[in-house]
Structure 1
Amino acid sequence: MRLRDIAHSRTGDKGNISNISVIAFDEKHYPLLLAQVTPERVKALFAGIVEGSVVRYELPAIAALNFVMDQALGGGVTRSLALDAHGKSLSSALLDLEIDGGFGDTRSAP
């Protein structure tokens, strides 16, 4: 299944730093996010885009993760000629990440 089956996402930016939040639709899926959406997997997913570090912040009270990615926006919004200078499409790319949930449609799973 894809990450988008159990979570939604938002992005933000500041200079050449992008952050992506991943929020579980249901808090019961938070352990799955912790286990499978690691900084290493996010860094690998964005190889060639994110040149710096990827740090994951865990927010268990709201069943969310926040990834802060340095050197991720081609120099920053005012310096990049990229079509997506703010990195808003990065959340869609992250939600395409394949994860192993061990069950079908997780939004209706017990």
Structure 2
Amino acid sequence: MKTSVITVPLYRAAHGRTGDKGNRSNISVIAWHPDLYPVLLAQLTEAAVARHFAHRLPSRVQRFELPLLHAMNFVLDDVLDGGVNDALNLDTHGKALSYWLLDLPVEIPASLAPLLAGPATADF
């Protein structure tokens, strides 16, 4: 028997924070509920995040798992156009990058739908 899943943007299952250091951005993803963490861990791989940020040309993406916090931290190298002092873009700190990651579609078992944040959608 196949488990039914729904596809939602990541922000329905997690929230995020972003920091920067030079040309490196780190993005934390924190599950809204502990039961969502293993589902997110399976889908938010280094490769998946690198694909999602391919337009920013990261030279490396690393994932650090924080299971006691139901979180993970991604470090993306060379995505800030040189960093705060060198970049000509409007978001030199990369604060908007967490929002870009939180828009990534993820598949959630329908049984976990009550744990999602935000308004219900037609996907339910």
* Rg larger for: 2
TM norm structure 2: 0.83
The equivalent residue for 2:104 is: 97
Amino acid corresponding to residue 14 of structure 1 in structure 2: K
Percent identity reads: 49
Q: 4+ residue stretches of structure 1 with deviation over 6 A?
A: none
Q: SS in structure 1 opposite 2:29?
A: strand
- Pairing of 1:57-76 with structure 2 (within 5 A): 57-76=64-83
Q: SS in structure 1 opposite 2:109?
A: coil
Tell me the matched-pair count.
108
The equivalent residue for 2:53 is: 46
> Given the alignment of the two structures, is residue 32 of structure 1 paired with residue 39 of structure 2, yes or no?
yes
**Alignment check: 8 A CA contact 2:22 2:84 kept:** yes
TM norm structure 1: 0.93
**Bigger helix fraction:** 2
Amino acid corresponding to residue 61 of structure 1 in structure 2: L
Unaligned runs of 5+ in 1: none
Q: SS in structure 2 opposite 1:80?
A: coil
Q: Distance in 1 between matches of 2:27 and 2:74?
A: 5
Question: Offset of 1:105 from its aligned partner?
Answer: 4.6
The equivalent residue for 2:121 is: none
Amino acid corresponding to residue 116 of structure 2 in structure 1: R
**Bigger strand fraction:** 2
Amino acid corresponding to residue 15 of structure 1 in structure 2: G
**Alignment check: 8 A CA contact 2:20 2:26 kept:** yes
Question: Offset of 1:51 from its aligned partner?
Answer: 2.6
Amino acid corresponding to residue 24 of structure 1 in structure 2: A
> Given the alignment of the two structures, is residue 107 of structure 1 paired with residue 119 of structure 2, yes or no?
no
Aligned CA RMSD, in angstroms, stands at: 1.3
> 2:22 aligned to 15, 22, 46, which one?
15
Amino acid corresponding to residue 54 of structure 1 in structure 2: V
